[in-house]
Structure 1
């Protein structure tokens, strides 16, 4: 029997053993539903913490930094993407890079995002990772998860036990916890955009089918052009989720769940903005932003009716066509959970899920390039002498604009991103007289497939935010060098990126924890042993055939790269250990102090391929052994308190933290960067320290909640000496959110302000981006029972700005063009909902 089959059988045997008790137990009294959470603020009354923990303590009694954010608090915040939801969590710095479809950069506590994605932050759905690795190239964890009415609350654990109760997420775990029908009722609603084209229908319902059988089902359907006013229907998708639970009286439950996601969202790549700056001490301080002529970064897009589809060449050398779908994930999941109490002392819990995931990442990237830098350059062996419109109303005319876009269009086909995950744990609770002792032993197994092919095509189009046309290049002798704006196939970033990968990673991780609680003192220790098995192949590009392509302007002969016959083999295992120690002292029933130290590992997966890390037989070479795992070491101390104040209630949590990291990684996109930031092999040391604070205040009909994080982060070591001692790019030292609201019953009104201070666009700290504050707001009117009319606005003051890194093209001594993914401008939606 294979190891994977044996692991599956272990889980099935455990489920079968407990199910044998179901017939007699189901006649007993159903498990009481947990207390309903206050839905008006992130800092609600404590639920039992189930994320990255022993699962038997509230926030106040847990020696970890944990947040619980309710369904309604998230809806009131008016997020336009999953990334914006994470701004409600202290310590999490989420940087929009591509819009609501995913591909965000998610950092935590000053630990920077090195190459993109979510390297040290794991996303979970009902306790199981969405993907094994958060930063899979063109397959990040936020591609595959959507917030909707099915979510009861989001829990987030930063640092500490995230190292030992989860794999590949030593920085933080963010868990979407589903409704399960324990609270009967539901909601249907429709929302429509006011100042752009998009409509969405949401609905959910849960109830009991019998005293011991309950269910919940819900989802959404949406379509439109999106807030960047793309000229075709770029938004289209749906999700349906459901579960059914058989309660086993006081002994536990058995649950089966399913999910289907098929969602297409445009990507919001770089957008240009005019800036003025001062220059002092080698640092260009951007003072302000103003719209680029013809391209307002708040609402413009380089996706267009003129590039709605584009030509590609397959890995085998066949000419085809891809639709500009943005990020388009398809996921079908089926799973279940077993929770069974064997008397008063032992509990078995098992979560299991199989997910089939695939589809496409197809978009148009953007890079501001002076036209003068293209004229006179060499393309396909010839000198560019002129540029003409390839399509659009000016088709055939000479292009005379000062700037254009010369970043590639890209089509990544995600052939198979599916996974199998299982987490089985046995918990024992004992009374030792002087203290209560809880011991837990678990086994986590997850297999992650990564099968993709990449098509990265050099192209040129005009720099405008409304239906930009494609541009064709011509040589000084009149030879056409591109067609439909493309000047080649699969060859924009060199041979590394005309790639095909077929990889499988299996993580087998036994873990153990011990907790001792007595006399107000709570001590715990936990350890996790990850064993990663990597199998598969990867291949990069070799020169392929030339293709003769004809468009309206004529015929061009375009070179290509296709996947070569030489493959890189992966066949190795890597083991490592993570641990965490924590202590909490309950000063009173409403106040506690805690401390924790931990060390967690994070395995480098697909980003290590085609980077010189493997021997011919697939084993790790010397470089690969050193860079296979990155470790984060963290220390934290905190205080938690809550109680009455002025006729209402308050809660306050403050945590001090430190973190250390040596990050070894590989970023192929750096090859085209100017020195000294052009080495794709990254090996940097980082340190950070700071404070997190969460405040909740509820006085009658008024509520005020807020989160703030301060972090002092520095690069402590690097082969690039110029960045040592610098602040990592895109890492603010202070970021915050403040949300007041007033609910009078017949109506409710609220706002939320979120912002950050200045950040550097690069690790050399030569361009500083000013901090910005963004304000959202909502109004709700309830004219009759169960009916609610809503109005929500995101970025109320239409602030033009950026949250992350970027690049600056200088146009004068104190002027330039800055480019990165901009924050969307003012967007407004109206809704009507019926609750039942």
Structure 2
């Protein structure tokens, strides 16, 4: 596949420099991303056949410029996405592994299943919900970023694979604007030190480059007790322009470590219908985490069943080494666009995937040792008995934590997209045609080397691991480890050795008849999944446990009697093909210069990848699909809207309807899901400017339902988990030559914790505030506050009902973090 794609791109890489000569600069991607002013015209180019004014496009789109992103106080990609109407981003896990969806499409597992994240027009990963390796994990916002463009529904189904819900494209600067910047930032109330830089210039009138990146370290937004955020990235692109086009070569190197917060402990009382959530004594869910300076390494087996001591401070350790080429040129009246990228990607994920919170005094009995006692297994009190478990850490709470020690050995991705467009004169009207071919190969090579440990729950990263001891003095845990594997023997010890090849020809037509535009597009995706998976959960006599002397002391302790091992000699094959048709039909009427109305109907699909492995959907004998329908989930969507824009005011209102399938594994229980959903709603987006004051705002109302659950019929008719009725954003600000001041309000109404619709999760509003002061030209001083009012913002609860212990397994946004920066432009 790599050879095929390299062969496809090579002729363009060679011919473009040969065509290069001094000529007027061709439009760059950076220029296309920015508002191209022709009156009020705004050109949008993501997820469409050809960039055109947003009022002339029958799509629902949004765009954030670099200057806006700097102000909103986002600490992660998911927090940026929270400021885009129609998108639901659960930004509670740190800088990666966020749950992201759009317009009522479900989040039954984790990641972004129906929404694709792109970088410079190509997907970061072919599948946005790969376990422990979601696309936002491999993306960072820094001074390289020119804009973020988002398309919801519409032609996203036909101009990208596996993205029926929409596309969000992170567009890089390309040196169009001369000069650069250096920015120094620090956390005022949290551990963060960071330096950013970027620089772009023309070397000659037709040759330009841009380079930029960042480096940072610190504890991060929540207390972990260690320096858990460290690393950075550097990006470079070089563009050679020639008459009628350009060729651009680019590269990126990212090596960044950030904590994976995931589950946290949160007190809950009241009733399932009216729960009251609060922090437990000595632990603040907004500012603390289950990580600790007293738990910095984990003893486990690697993917080859060899003992290894992994670094608990590694968090999400994402590494990206990518190179690519982008070219635009004209051949026989056709505008040809070629994009190619090869990305070598890996990740080491260390997070708490599951936790069971119990009173510390009850831990011995809860884990099979009635009458037993507790000892500290790490920290300053290691080896000592816990004198009074009921007052441990001021809350008397203990936790069984399943550490998702996951090696994402290879997520290598090679992608090529070539398309040709031409505008034909048809009786004095414009007929735009586009044809193209997309090809990619996605590798998923990972090992799940999990372990279950016992710990107290303490703030400021001070928790200590615990051992359980029998009345006769025998430890049933070892240095805090209860089981070298998942709490349930024989589960979640897995290996994936998979490759997914995707090919997709596509075409579109758009006929403009005066103020009316009629459009249609088609795409056919066909792909193949091949490889193998490893795990005792596959059954058929595969052995998943063995006695191993993990710590090498010559004694087999209780936890070492049943160590989770991978049955390496008994892999199960994966071998199946799939195909699906996507289409989109649209009509737009530009009623007047400031007003347009549009309607669109689309069908798209999402091929399922690793999320359906270890399920009854795939044969363990020959790797075929036992149910052909589970290989691809189909999404149908309809939308209709009105757009208005003048010099000071922009208003977009869109009604939408969606129907979706989801073949999946539940992210909480690990059990298979086979559901149908529908959603209906309305979306508003607008902006207003007068003098020094401006306001941008958005809101999305969604009424969603699980229309059918093939596995649990009692779920049918319920509201999907995490689905709020209303999500909204507003950003008022005042800007002058010397200062900018404003705030970003993002809110949501309540939702249900699980699909059983029993326990409710309350809504919230978070406030980010910013002040920028420019005392002299080219110098900017800024203070930025994220979650200014320290709101307890709960994105999800993993419990179906209030736990008997009164402590929920929660996912919450970071509490208040304030940073200051100084920027020098040159």
Whole-angstrom CA distance in 2 between matches of 1:575 and 1:404: 49
Whole-angstrom CA distance in 2 between matches of 1:521 and 1:15: 38
Q: Write out aligned runs for 1:376-387 (5 A).
A: 376-378=365-367, 385-387=372-374
Distance 1:39 1:523, change over 3 A: closer
Whole-angstrom CA distance in 2 between matches of 1:213 and 1:549: 59
Secondary structure of 2:797 counterpart: coil
1:525 paired residue number: 520
> Which among 603, 610, 617 is matched to residue 613 of structure 1?
617
Whole-angstrom CA distance in 2 between matches of 1:804 and 1:368: 17
> Which among 575, 591, 596 is matched to residue 592 of structure 1?
596
Whole-angstrom CA distance in 2 between matches of 1:441 and 1:634: 23
Whole-angstrom CA distance in 2 between matches of 1:481 and 1:548: 14
Q: Does 1:482 align with 2:477?
A: yes
Deviation at 1:669, TM superposition (A): 4.3
Per-residue CA distance 1:240-291 (angstroms, 9 max, x = gap): 0110100013x100000000111100111222222332x4xxx4322x4332
2:377 paired residue number: 390
Total equivalences in the alignment? 802
Whole-angstrom CA distance in 1 between matches of 2:732 and 2:465: 47
Q: Is the 8 A contact 2:157 2:165 kept in 1?
A: yes
Q: Does 1:742 align with 2:734?
A: yes
1:329 paired residue number: 318
Distance 1:610 1:8, change over 3 A: same
Distance 1:412 1:220, change over 3 A: same
Per-residue CA distance 1:205-243 (angstroms, 9 max, x = gap): 111000000111101100001121221111101110110
User: TM-score, structure 1 length as denominator?
Assistant: 0.92
Deviation at 1:298, TM superposition (A): 1.2
Q: Is the 8 A contact 2:261 2:352 kept in 1?
A: no
> Which among 690, 696, 699 is matched to residue 690 of structure 2?
699
Unaligned segments of structure 2, at least 5 residues: 391-395, 537-543
Whole-angstrom CA distance in 1 between matches of 2:133 and 2:375: 36
1:504 paired residue number: 499
Deviation at 1:309, TM superposition (A): 1.0
> Which among 75, 78, 82 is matched to residue 73 of structure 2?
78
2:233 paired residue number: 239
> Which among 253, 274, 280 is matched to residue 260 of structure 1?
253
Q: Does 1:686 align with 2:677?
A: yes
Q: Is the 8 A contact 1:549 1:555 kept in 2?
A: no
Whole-angstrom CA distance in 1 between matches of 2:440 and 2:791: 43
Distance 1:474 1:809, change over 3 A: farther
Distance 1:767 1:336, change over 3 A: same
Whole-angstrom CA distance in 2 between matches of 1:554 and 1:6: 52
Whole-angstrom CA distance in 2 between matches of 1:388 and 1:233: 27
1:677 paired residue number: none
Secondary structure of 2:795 counterpart: coil
Whole-angstrom CA distance in 1 between matches of 2:633 and 2:501: 18
Q: Write out aligned runs for 1:254-653 (5 A).
A: 254-277=247-270, 279=271, 283-286=272-275, 288-324=276-312, 325-342=314-331, 345-365=333-353, 366-371=355-360, 374-378=363-367, 385-395=372-382, 396-398=384-386, 400-401=389-390, 402-466=396-460, 467-541=462-536, 542-547=544-549, 549=551, 556-558=558-560, 559-564=562-567, 565-615=569-619, 618-623=622-627, 625-644=628-647, 649-653=648-652
Q: Does 1:665 align with 2:664?
A: yes
Whole-angstrom CA distance in 1 between matches of 2:70 and 2:672: 41
2:541 paired residue number: none
Deviation at 1:484, TM superposition (A): 1.7
Distance 1:384 1:331, change over 3 A: farther
Whole-angstrom CA distance in 1 between matches of 2:9 and 2:240: 18
Secondary structure of 1:807 counterpart: coil
Deviation at 1:716, TM superposition (A): 0.8
Secondary structure of 1:137 counterpart: coil
Secondary structure of 2:389 counterpart: coil
Deviation at 1:185, TM superposition (A): 1.7
Secondary structure of 1:164 counterpart: helix
Distance 1:708 1:229, change over 3 A: same
Q: Is the 8 A contact 1:37 1:70 kept in 2?
A: no
Deviation at 1:38, TM superposition (A): 11
1:816 paired residue number: 806
The alignment's C-alpha RMSD in Å is: 2.3
Q: Is the 8 A contact 2:34 2:43 kept in 1?
A: no
> Which among 708, 717, 721 is matched to residue 725 of structure 1?
717
Q: Is the 8 A contact 1:378 1:384 kept in 2?
A: no
Whole-angstrom CA distance in 1 between matches of 2:33 and 2:413: 35
Distance 1:556 1:205, change over 3 A: same
Secondary structure of 1:531 counterpart: strand
Q: Does 1:156 align with 2:169?
A: no
> Which among 199, 203, 216 is matched to residue 205 of structure 1?
199
Whole-angstrom CA distance in 1 between matches of 2:469 and 2:678: 51
Secondary structure of 1:406 counterpart: strand
Whole-angstrom CA distance in 1 between matches of 2:684 and 2:615: 41
Deviation at 1:571, TM superposition (A): 1.9
Whole-angstrom CA distance in 2 between matches of 1:231 and 1:5: 47
Secondary structure of 1:785 counterpart: coil
Deviation at 1:470, TM superposition (A): 0.1
Whole-angstrom CA distance in 1 between matches of 2:500 and 2:371: 46
Unaligned segments of structure 1, at least 5 residues: 672-679
Deviation at 1:668, TM superposition (A): 6.7
Distance 1:540 1:59, change over 3 A: same
Secondary structure of 1:738 counterpart: strand
Q: Write out aligned runs for 1:186-201 (5 A).
A: 186-201=180-195
Deviation at 1:687, TM superposition (A): 0.7
Deviation at 1:434, TM superposition (A): 4.2
Q: Is the 8 A contact 2:467 2:480 kept in 1?
A: yes
Distance 1:248 1:206, change over 3 A: same
User: TM-score, structure 2 length as denominator?
Assistant: 0.93
Secondary structure of 2:351 counterpart: strand
Whole-angstrom CA distance in 2 between matches of 1:589 and 1:72: 28
Which deviates more from structure 2 when the two are superposed, residues 539-548 or residues 75-84?
539-548
Secondary structure of 1:825 counterpart: coil
Secondary structure of 1:78 counterpart: coil
Which deviates more from structure 2 when the two are superposed, residues 64-73 or residues 267-276?
267-276
Secondary structure of 1:490 counterpart: coil
1:796 paired residue number: 788
Whole-angstrom CA distance in 2 between matches of 1:34 and 1:605: 31
Whole-angstrom CA distance in 2 between matches of 1:494 and 1:167: 38
Q: Is the 8 A contact 1:97 1:821 kept in 2?
A: yes
> Which among 7, 10, 13 is matched to residue 12 of structure 1?
10
Distance 1:124 1:89, change over 3 A: same
Whole-angstrom CA distance in 2 between matches of 1:793 and 1:175: 26
Q: Is the 8 A contact 2:681 2:701 kept in 1?
A: yes
Which deviates more from structure 2 when the two are superposed, residues 818-827 or residues 449-458?
818-827
Q: Is the 8 A contact 1:71 1:153 kept in 2?
A: yes
Which deviates more from structure 2 when the two are superposed, residues 605-614 or residues 736-745?
605-614
Whole-angstrom CA distance in 2 between matches of 1:14 and 1:617: 44
